[in-house]
Amino acid sequence: MPVRKILLLPGMDGTGKLLLGFSRALPKQIRSSIPIYPGDRFLSYDDLAKLVRSLCEDSEPFVLMAESFSTPLAIRIAAECPANLKGLILCAGFATSPVRGLARWPSFILSRILMRFVLPDAAIQRWLIGAGAPQSLLTEVREAISSVRPGVLAARLRALLACDVRSDLGKISVPMFYLRAQQDRLIAAQCLDEIQRIRPDVRVVIIDGPHLLLQREFLKTAKVVGEYLENLC
């Protein structure tokens, strides 16, 4: 019987609002649940793992899907083999810091400063939603970011810069599916290469689009994910 439920973990904003378009575009028979991360206080990956574990206790078969910031968290949870987990979907995902080499340590230092400034439209378009994105998406992204305290965003950035869940990848027993954005300027192809070296069985679909793929191309991604679930038993 095909899986009909997705537990969908949000990106770094943690609001879940940016996933509503994708969620609504999924086939009607598929239900999605999106946890919300507090915007007024920082929860570490360990803290967030406790929250997600509590949502995995349902007796119904489900797929765990995560976007960007939440992908190391999803890998960790999937490695624990929840009883009714049937699959893991990563979008713009990584198992270790997506910032590599000499740029990593300056990023730690600058994280406390960068998140305190209002991102200009050009930066949101270049790094997150791509050129030619509708004004409505630009507004949604800006509102989602501004609803979270800058200190919380900075702490989340530092958490992802320090993450390393490579040892958990080999413990995952369910099928893995990876959605890669062809024009992703934040998560390089090397992040997927690293996952594939450990899990060569991961199924990969590349879609033309920017980092916020589930937002910019919600119809395409919802169709791909719907088809994947239809064939996942």
Q: What is the mean pLDDT of residues 171-191?
A: 96
d(CA 64, CA 41): 24
**CB 56 within 8 Å of CB 88:** no
Tokens 């990584």 sit on residue: 94
| CB atoms inside a 10 Å sphere around CB 182 | 11
Q: Supply the pLDDT for residue 102.
A: 46
Residue-range definition of the domain harbouring residue 190:
5-230
At 112, the pLDDT band (50, 70, 90 cuts) reads: low
Split into its structural domains, the chain has a count of 1
Report the CATH number at residue 153.
Answer: 3.40.50.1820
The pTM for the full model equals 0.93
Going by C-alpha positions, the residue among 188, 216, 195, 186 that lies closest to residue 21 is 216
